[in-house]
Amino acid sequence: MSRQGKAYAYGLAAVLAWSTVATAFKISLEHLTPAQLVLYASTASFLVLLGVLAAQRRLPELACALRRHWKRSLLLGAVNPFVYYLVLFRAYDLLPAQEAQAINYTWALTMTLLAIPLLKQTPRRADVVAALVCYLGVLVIATRGEVLALHFSNFEGLVYALASTLLWAGYWIFNAKDEREPVIGLALNFGFALPMALVWCLLGDGLGQASLSGLLGAAYVGAFEMGLTFVAWLMAMKLTESTARIANLIFLSPLLSLALIHLIVGETIYPSTFVGLALILGGLALQKWLTRAPAAAA
């Protein structure tokens, strides 16, 4: 297989795995609270990442990175996975999976908008147009098509879903200057987040009597949302001849995810979800096109 072929294989594997996580979130939350799911999934992810580093014979690098970067690891670990997944899982707990996952796709646009005040970037016409289109899509999904009436299906869930995009986008903005190797950095984040998640559970929901279904769901989420999939995506980006070719694969994920939500979770997919998701993905695509057009002309 060619280098680019391997990049596509890794990229498609990551996209297919990410397409399943909304379903896995919803099923796991039938057996666990959001806090418990954060704890057990983070534990699974940490063990998976340690396994990857062990297989690569890079565990000594982890100890060195811990000594050099423990403050950054503590701060970023508090954001992701701890607070981010607490908020995201709460959104999935309150909303149908189809709505939560569709709104979560606006994080890329949120990152662009956050960069304006945080990085002092000048807003571009493409960003404004994309924001209007994407957030119209969010409004269609959140109101289930009753946009003019502004009747939200679950306003609290909407707030949590949008807050998760802010946390995720903010994490990646501050992560841009991270000197740590990505897999080692992620492993350190999860290592520092585990005590936080444990204390949060003990002070709140407790550890409970976790069922086998809940633990298996958490293990799947930890491995494929937080762990192995991240490594596969990094490999795809490392091997590809064109970042855009691999990045565009992510647009396959939402429709695959909706199909699994319908077939496995049993949700009836609302027409408003299709319309809103089309607006969100269209807004993101429009942002890319409007940004590239001037560059190509120049």
Pull the structure tokens for residue 170. 């903010």
Which residue type occupies 154?
N
pLDDT digit string, tens, across residues 192-225: 999 999 999 999 878 877 788 889 999 999 998 8
Residue 114: the pLDDT is 86
pLDDT digit string, tens, across residues 171-182: 888 877 778 888
Where would I find the beta strands (DSSP E) of 77-133?
Answer: none
What's the pTM value of the predicted model, to 2 decimals? 0.88
Rounded to the nearest 5°, which phi and psi values hold at 153?
-65, -40
Q: Tell me what the mean pLDDT of segment 253-272 comes to.
A: 92
Q: Percentage of the chain surpassing pLDDT 70?
A: 95
Residue 54: the pLDDT is 94
Q: Which of 124-133, 231-240, 284-293 has the lowest mean pLDDT?
A: 284-293
- Residues in the chain, total: 298
Which residue type occupies 152?
F
Rounded to the nearest 5°, which phi and psi values hold at 6?
-65, -40
Q: Cα separation of 234 and 6, whole Å?
A: 12
Q: Cα separation of 203 and 283, whole Å?
A: 41
pLDDT-derived band at 253 (thresholds 50, 70, 90) equals confident
pLDDT digit string, tens, across residues 12-67: 988 898 899 999 999 999 999 999 999 999 999 999 999 999 999 999 999 999 99
CA dihedral sign of residues 27, 162, 237, 15: positive
Q: Cα separation of 3 and 229, whole Å?
A: 19
The yes-or-no verdict on residue 121 having pLDDT over 70 is yes
Rg (CA), the chain: 19
pLDDT-derived band at 244 (thresholds 50, 70, 90) equals low
Q: Cα separation of 187 and 146, whole Å?
A: 43
In 3D space, the residue among 165, 192, 179, 52 whose CA is nearest the CA of residue 105 turns out to be 165
Pull the structure tokens for residue 45. 């992810």
User: Which of the pair, 87 or 134, is modelled with greater confidence?
Assistant: 87
Please check whether residue 36 is in contact with residue 205, taking contact to mean a CB–CB distance below 8 angstroms: yes
Centre a 10 Å sphere on the Cβ of residue 45 and count the other Cβ atoms it contains: 29
Residue 294: the pLDDT is 55
Q: Tell me what the mean pLDDT of segment 82-89 comes to.
A: 96
Residue 4: the pLDDT is 81
CA within 13 Å, CB half, 208: 17
Helix (H) or strand (E) holding 221: helix 212-221
